[in-house]
A and B are shown apart, each in its own frame.
Chain A
Amino acid sequence: MASVVANSELSDVDWLVMRARSFPKTDPYSAKAWLITAKSLFPQSFVIQFEFYIVEKAAKNVEEAARILQDMLQNFPNEQALWTEVQSILESLQRESQDQKYSFLTDLFAAIPTSTQCGMLAQVSKTIPDVFERCQLLLVVMRKFPNLVPEHGIKLMETLVQEEIKSGVVNNPVNCYRKLLVCDVMPLVLEKGGHLEVNMFQLYLWLQRAIEFYVSYISQPAPGSSSSGETPTTSDTEGSRPSPVKSRSLSGLSEGEMQVPDPWGNLLKLLLLTGHRLNWDIEQNILSRPKEYQIASLQHQLTRAKASNACETNMKQILHTGMVLFVYSMMHYVNHVQVDVAGANSHQSPVVLLEALSSPYTERLSPPKAKKSKLEKSAPVIVPSTAINASASILQSFEMAVKCFELLNSTEELKYEFYQLCQKWRKETHTMMSYFQADMNIYQGNYGEAITHLQALVGTASGKTAMKLNLQLASCQLCLKQYSKACQLVLEQVETILAQSGASVPLCSTAAEDSGDAEECISDSHSSLSGRRLRLMQCTGAEVLPFCLQFLTASLRTKMSTYQLTDSILAHMIILLQCDWPQQEALFNEIISTIQKQGTFTYNAFFYYVHQVDILEEFAFLDTPEGGKVNLDIMPISTKALAQQRTVTRGVNKGVKEDFKAALEKQVGRVPESSDVLIKRFLQDEREELLKSFV
């Protein structure tokens, strides 16, 4: 009573609210009774109803509070306090906290009929000036309340598309609008949207945006170097936009928010969801299956769609499925090929796809043009090095990428659409594509085109990737018989490796032998099927150096039956043969018989580089009548020069002969320098000489 007197100054409404508030928490009944009366007395008073709402909220009466809130939204749509409350409810929806306060507000929102929920959302989102924030709010709410998806889903997607265009960031698909659209809203709408008022073209358009986003996202440079230089084109629109919004349009989301955990999984999911919407023949529960299964299933789809009649629907399906599978497999493959650009794992060595060097007495290096028709029929065999982990999956990806690429280029229509889609890619993606195309051309035997790609790439590449590209270039040039260029490149690579790792890298590693053996095995089983073999090796010194030696030997061997054959070429081959002696004994025998036929052999650096006992013995034998009495001039000081010094006519050669024999014996007696060291020395010292062979 005392309080009534003290508060006699208050207006009736305020007094009623004050009285309602005056009851202790232990008596919820009286406060409510007062408020019911007050509301009945002053039905137009917002203060009273709001107080009522507060009381119900405090008592955690979800339904009552929701009902009052709904009433107030209807009757007092202009009350600021009400909208502040609505805003705080919607904000609490955005929190993932387990806090009771937020979960109560979420329940409260849940207790409100859908139409009012929509109204609340629409009203609150109007008050958010920033479109992106508005979209985020809508997204969060739709996630928690899928019943709102049919009403707001498509609208939200359209808003995001428009806003992306308006903001000018559309040139860079990895922007906040696209991220929200593709990663968050689109899956939600496709999955939970119920019946959608969209046509096929709209769905494909969204899917294309998704492909663009994910392709760019996956191929974007490692974080840190990214966002800075992006989207210079925004400058023309910036005048009309307030600056805080502009800064959003650049990055929009923090690094963390821009992360997409399983991009390929997401893209496949979108493709499959779109497929469901378009009634493709895919299983209903495919989304719960592992990625590999989904891919296999899509591949089947693709084959089936291709086989059936080519209507536009089909064409679109082939285009999009093919596109997704292509970028998926292509990028997976290129990640192994273009290691240091992909960022994180720069310690890894790239894998190199090369034309396999034919070993002696298997086929000669294939003349590319002549065999082309045959190649198209049966795909070449790729033999992976045992040093590559997961080589099977790399090859699988490569082959799938090639198939998809061929499919996407199989008709003019598809080709056009495919290139339209590719045009929107970022630079990095095009680079990846170039890497892939280089390898694909090698695989297809189109060395000229491969070289074009490789040369374009090698300009910007460095480290192991540069080496990989150079090796491929050399391999192509070899196939095109550009031996000089090829060997120069190979020697450069040898030099690089030796400069970097020196003696530590074995030249004639067991690995090389292993791979050689493996090659033999596989070539045995496949030789009947295909004449062409490729090898996939790791770009490490241990794998590259032996390859380089084989490469040089193979190049030199091409001169064997030509008029360009010189004694140095023969000698160089002999020196290189020592490396994996007696692997190439057959070639050696060929060389010896050539020398026997010539009757002479001059190579004064012979004793510097030839230590192999078997070879030395063979040369001793050449000197004998049984060996053909070959005139050998292999002493460090030329016998001819010696002869000129000793101006004696007779018996000259006798002393020389003895010198030769002594030298041979001395060389055999010497503890052999390891062939590794020896050949490394040879490659370093005689580089110019080697190159002269190909002039």
Chain B
Amino acid sequence: MNAAPTALSATTSGADLLLWVAFPYICLAVFVVGHVWRYRQDQFGWTSRTSQLLEHRWLHWGSPLFHLGAFMVIAGHVVGLAIPDSWTEAAGISEHAYHTTAVWAGSVAGVAMVTGLGMLCARRLLTRRIRLGTDRSDKLLFPLLSVTVLLGISATATHNVFGGGYDYRETVSVWFRGVFTLQPHPAAIADAPLLFQLHALSACLLFAAWPFTRLVHVWSAPIGYLARPYLVYRRRATPAAPAPARQRRPASSSRRAA
């Protein structure tokens, strides 16, 4: 894997270049720039957009199932995609043991996430109050997330649970790491089964959409709460700079004061 093959060999077709190099990088660029833009421009819109007030019975089960399932799924992806199989083998974990664990844990996590997401989608569609409060970004996010999750779980189900087994760590993972090490290997994923390919592409889209949806609340996970003092005092506001005394200021110059 660290043989560093010529990243973009001549055999790679134009379509592969477009799908597995250009497209992911565009999505990643949108992801990064979009976040910077939104964080600077839209603190007021940066929220989990809770709708528990309006509907709580479905949410009570759906939301924890979805979130906890998602955490496991994300952890699974980090292990499966970011850690080369040579490392796990070096740690004494056989290929078979790895895949058995992955399929089992992944199935549990996947089912939890799909069930949770299904409930969350259902309440959004069936509860009129919530449906009316659903905005454009939600209408993009919910289908996109559902498609990505369903593609992922059906890829696993088709090939690894019921199928003969497909070692994505030899192909998809190599491509994934290549994107981040700036040595893209489009050929690595080009021959992967269609479901894996579609899953990867919709995931790229999801990353591109991320900064413009409520998904941004992921970055605000309040871990700091565990350490901060209970009582928060704040001064009214600190004047940015001592204003020139008694000077009639232009209407727009006084905005920036933290």
Tell whether A pairs with B: no
Write the residues of chain A forming the contact surface with B, with a CB cutoff of 8 angstroms: none
